């Protein structure tokens, strides 16, 4: 619950117009907290040669929009940090899954000034569907999971 509170303060604004406080909050949540939590779990997992970490990035890590450059940049860090760590963990018995969801129906969008009603409903998934898709990918051994919408053609344009 504590980790969700900083996310609510991360209103989406252009990087040029965002406050230093908003930028620091976004970086603290998406980079610093994720890195610290991942590193805190690793010693115990490595000592028993077993464990799993699931890091959540975003498809926005792969394609930034004008008002999402800061957010997308931090999610790009999650992608590169996770991919590199997957290489480091090879052969250790510790798995790291990277999840890149698309638009997920949470209060984040309303707070960020981007109401979900502005999105095509075909590209928005519920948080429950995102988690189910991520866990299904994990169970199938996927290193990277892109929980997706039902219409594959939406991603091929």
Active site (catalytic) residues: 71
The CA distances from residue 7 to 27, 72, 143, in Å, are: 10, 14, 25
Burial of 121 (0-12, 13-18, 19+ CB in 10 A): exposed
CA distance 88 to 58: 22
Quick one: tokens of 141?
């051994």
Q: Three-state SS for 32?
A: helix
Q: How many CA atoms lie within 13 A of 148 on its CB side?
A: 11
| DSSP secondary structure code for residue 143 in this structure | S
Helices vs strands, H then E, count in the chain = 6, 5
């Amino acid at each position: 619950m504590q980790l969700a509170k900083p996310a609510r303060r991360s209103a989406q604004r252009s990087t040029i117009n965002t406050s230093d406080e908003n930028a620091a909050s976004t970086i603290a949540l998406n980079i610093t907290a994720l890195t610290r939590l991942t590193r805190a779990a690793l010693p115990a997992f490595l000592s028993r040669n077993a464990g799993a970490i699931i890091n959540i990035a975003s498809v926005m890590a792969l394609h930034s929009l004008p008002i999402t450059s800061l957010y997308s940049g931090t999610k790009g860090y999650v992608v590169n940090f996770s991919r590199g760590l997957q290489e480091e963990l090879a052969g250790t018995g510790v798995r790291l899954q990277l999840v890149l969801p698309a638009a997920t129906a949470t209060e984040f969008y309303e707070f960020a000034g981007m109401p979900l009603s502005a999105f095509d409903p075909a590209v928005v998934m519920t948080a429950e569907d995102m988690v189910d898709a991520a866990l299904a990918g994990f169970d199938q051994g996927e290193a990277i999971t892109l929980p997706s919408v039902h219409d594959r053609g939406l991603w091929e344009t």
